[in-house]
Amino acid sequence: MYAEEKQLRQRGFNCIAGIDEAGRGPLAGPVVTAAVILPPDYRNSEINDSKQLTPLQREKLFVDIKNAALSYAVGVVSPKEIDEIGILNATKLAMRQAVSRLDPQPDFILIDAVSINLDGIPQMAIIKGDEKIFSIAAASILAKVTRDRLMMKYHQKFPEYGFDQHMGYGTEVHLKAILKHGPSPIHRMTFAPLKSL
């Protein structure tokens, strides 16, 4: 997982940021991205794609990564904005937000799957980057934990949808709750099956 960053450092890049998102697929809630710059010598064998980890493991690593990072930041785009500009554009917007909040600014960015327009910063989009690249895996954990915590807050506000169980994804329980209660203010109305309501 360290090979790509090692090669980039050999090419003279010193401030490499990994970027990933959480929440592209759910029917409710924001899309959240994280960007993180880790020290060149930082190693942690527990860091992996957030989807491969338990909530408890993610929470522990969330603290470890934040403590170790030279810089980290998140970007959050609301369900309303997702409906207005589409999920792909919303994801890219949240990624740009996260990168713009990094201090120091990166001299290279590694992104899971998508490319974003950032003047003057070279980048590489890597399919399944959260499984292959250390800094992207770390970013995936920051994004996932941040989003899950937001969804737990939404659960307090809208307990009838069971966001604490599914984090807004289209499970059977969630779909039944939408049919029973109608959509909430944080549902993405352009996503099927909400489009037909």
Euclidean distance between CA atoms 71 and 37, whole angstroms: 5
4 by Cβ neighbours in 10 Å (0-12 / 13-18 / 19+) ranks as: buried
* 125: number of Cβ within 10 Å: 14
Q: How confident is the model at residue 196 (pLDDT cuts 50, 70, 90)?
A: confident
Render pLDDT for 92-130 as a digit per residue (tens, 0 to 9). 999 999 999 999 999 999 999 999 988 889 999 999 999
> Which pLDDT score, from 0 to 100, does residue 117 have?
85
Euclidean distance between CA atoms 82 and 197, whole angstroms: 17
Asked if 148 and 51 count as a contact pair (C-beta separation under 8 A), the reply is: no
Instruction: Indicate the pTM of the whole model.
Output: 0.96
Domains of the chain listed by start with CATH number: 3-196 (3.30.420.10)
Q: How confident is the model at residue 57 (pLDDT cuts 50, 70, 90)?
A: very high
Euclidean distance between CA atoms 173 and 11, whole angstroms: 50
Render pLDDT for 132-151 as a digit per residue (tens, 0 to 9). 999 999 999 999 999 999 99
